[in-house]
């Protein structure tokens, strides 16, 4: 970026006529802009991406938006007290989400309407250790008359639960598979 300072009067000289920058009347150029530097990428220390298969297996298919929206809708139904909180233990939710759900539920008055307004997923990335794939998401929810932001993380994990979210009850029998699990969730 070129920094300029106003002066009384600057006459164009033969030096300024041949340069790439031109002098405006009343301004003097303090320094010329530097040319852009080429960007180099170090390949030896680069972290593996989700699509690399050199040490971490095949590429990962990201979770479907509908699936994540279903998980968040289930969580919102629990916050509305339409479902019991202990159902989270039967679904693809990390155990630390249960105490956080109780905390958020205490702040929301009973009878308050909660709806999911929008949801945005980032592409999956490998964690620093390389064995876990993560997807970050952000969503907006309508809480009564207010709009709140929700941010969270999904991880691809071996889970003992494979149940459609609409059939999740406290007595549901489950079986294991690799699936996306809701690891963290924060209402902002």
Q: What is the pLDDT of residue 79?
A: 95
| Domains by residue range for the chain, with CATH | 1-46 (no CATH), 65-187 (3.10.450)
CA distance 85 to 102: 8
Beta carbons of 162 and 156 less than 8 angstroms apart: no
For residue 52, give both structure tokens.
Answer: 């690399």
Coil vs helix vs strand at 59: coil
- The DSSP output letter for 21 is S
Q: Which structure tokens are listed for 99?
A: 């105490």
How do the pLDDT tens digits run along the chain, 188 residues long? 444 455 555 555 555 444 455 556 666 555 655 666 565 444 444 444 444 444 444 567 888 999 999 999 999 999 999 999 999 988 889 999 999 999 999 999 999 999 999 999 998 887 665 557 889 999 999 999 999 999 999 988 876 655 555 566 655 555 556 788 899 999 99
SS3 (DSSP) at 8:
coil
Q: What confidence score (pLDDT) does residue 58 get?
A: 52
Cα-flanking dihedrals φ and ψ of residue 118, to 5°? -150, 160
| 104 phi and psi angles, rounded to 5 deg | -70, -35
Q: Give whole-number Cα distances, 81 to 41, 54, 107, 108, 111, in Å.
A: 51, 47, 12, 10, 8
Q: How far is CA 44 from CA 55, 61, 78, 90, 130, in A?
A: 14, 26, 47, 43, 16
């Amino acid at each position: 970026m070129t920094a300029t300072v106003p002066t009384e009067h600057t006459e164009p000289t033969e030096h300024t006529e041949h340069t790439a920058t031109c002098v405006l009347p009343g301004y003097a150029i303090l320094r010329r802009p530097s040319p852009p530097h080429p960007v180099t990428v170090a390949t030896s220390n680069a972290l593996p991406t989700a699509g690399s298969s050199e040490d971490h297996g095949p590429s990962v298919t990201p979770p479907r938006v509908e699936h994540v929206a279903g998980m968040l809708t289930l969580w919102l139904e629990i916050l509305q007290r339409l479902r019991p909180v202990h159902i989270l233990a039967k679904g693809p939710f990390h155990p630390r989400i249960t105490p956080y759900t109780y905390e958020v539920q205490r702040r929301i008055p009973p009878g308050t309407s909660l709806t999911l307004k929008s949801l945005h997923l980032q592409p999956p990335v490998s964690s620093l250790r390389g064995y876990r794939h993560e997807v970050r998401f952000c969503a907006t929810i309508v809480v009564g008359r207010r709009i709140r932001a929700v941010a969270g993380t999904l991880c691809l994990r071996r889970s003992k639960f494979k149940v459609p979210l609409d059939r999740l009850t406290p007595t549901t029998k489950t079986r294991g598979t690799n699936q996306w699990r809701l690891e963290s969730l924060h209402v902002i």
